[in-house]
Amino acid sequence: MTRPQHPRTARPRHYLMCRPTHFEVTYSINPWMDPAKPVDGPLAVTQWERLRDLYTALGHTVEEITPLPGLPDMVYAANGATVVDGRVLGARFRNAERSAEGPAYLEWFRARGYRETLDPVHVNEGEGDFLVTDTCVLAGRGFRSTPAGHREAQEFFGRPVVGLDLVDPRYYHLDTALSVLDGDEVMYHPAAFSPGSRSVLRRLFPDALLVAEADAEVFGLNAVSDGLNVVLPEAATGLAAQLRGRGFRPIGVDLSELLKGGGSVKCCTLEIRPGT
């Protein structure tokens, strides 16, 4: 097992979240969503508040966007945009049910004075499919975001965008199959990727933490790391042990209600990366 060369340190982050006031499962656009299965709305809010309060307790800044009625998936803030160097790439959703979320998130940033913004032409579902490492932006495709959306991101951010093909519909967004732990250190579930993309990942990240099916299917990879603390679904117990072995501090949370929409910790968390 790879041991950290240096002690793990947390860096304070800036997150945007959306309270699940209007959360429900009325349509199905991923295999986890079953409109016949009841959602406990008040419990969803309580679980979400615990996540928000945990971030604050860890020293992070959390802002909130006002949830809009009729957009039940707006709680998955990670999909709302991608923010790198203070530059805001808006989202364009594949499914009509979510299309109004893109402009709503972009407007939030514009109203707060973010001047470098782009309303994209091509489909990209924000940080659902774009994960930022120190040297590149890893980009999922196959189910939601498109190669044209990847190109648009590379041109806008001026950072290399590495396309990765997702092949299992249960892992329809990159952030369900891969997570950035720190700098250029990642963890992922190999079976979620095409053979070629697995080779790319091995080449780029030979020391990556490989995550088993049992932890991936409870959304263990839908995690948020600050460099030390890794907030992840509490059911991913094997992964928590692996993380501890690498010097991280895993913190398990229960987001059972939001899981019914096909999302967990990371999906609810959009990271705002400042410019310098």
Of 87, 92, 173, 260, the residue at the interface with ligand ARG (CB under 6 A) is 173
39 vs 42: CA distance, rounded Å: 9
Question: What is the phi/psi pair of residue 82, to 5°?
Answer: -130, 130
Q: Which stretch binds ligand ARG (CB under 6 A): 38-46, 71-79, 112-120, 191-199?
A: 71-79
Q: How far is the CB of 220 from ligand ARG (least distance, A)?
A: 13
21 vs 87: CA distance, rounded Å: 28
Of 30, 145, 179, 242, the residue at the interface with ligand ARG (CB under 6 A) is 30
User: Of 174, 92, 170, which is closest to residue 132 (Cα–Cα)?
Assistant: 174
Name which of residues 205 to 264 contact ligand ARG (CB under 6 A).
261-263
Q: Which stretch binds ligand ARG (CB under 6 A): 37-45, 105-113, 169-177, 184-192?
A: 169-177
Does 18 qualify as catalytic in the annotation? no
Residue nearer to ligand ARG on the CB measure, 185 or 271? 271
Of 175, 185, 215, 226, the residue at the interface with ligand ARG (CB under 6 A) is 175
Of 18, 60, 150, 173, the active-site residue reads: 173
Q: How far is the CB of 235 from ligand ARG (least distance, A)?
A: 17
Of 13, 19, 55, 73, the residue at the interface with ligand ARG (CB under 6 A) is 73
Of 17, 29, 83, 104, the residue at the interface with ligand ARG (CB under 6 A) is 29
> Which tokens belong to 117?
């913004």
Judged by CB under 6 A, does residue 267 bind ligand ARG?
yes
Total residues contacting ligand ARG by CB under 6 A comes to: 16
Does 267 qualify as catalytic in the annotation? yes
Q: How far is the CB of 158 from ligand ARG (least distance, A)?
A: 24
Residue nearer to ligand ARG on the CB measure, 162 or 267? 267
Q: Which positions are annotated as active-site residues?
A: 173, 267
Please give the residue ranges that form the binding site for ligand ARG (CB under 6 A).
Answer: 29-30, 33, 73, 76, 78-79, 98, 128, 173, 175-176, 261-263, 267
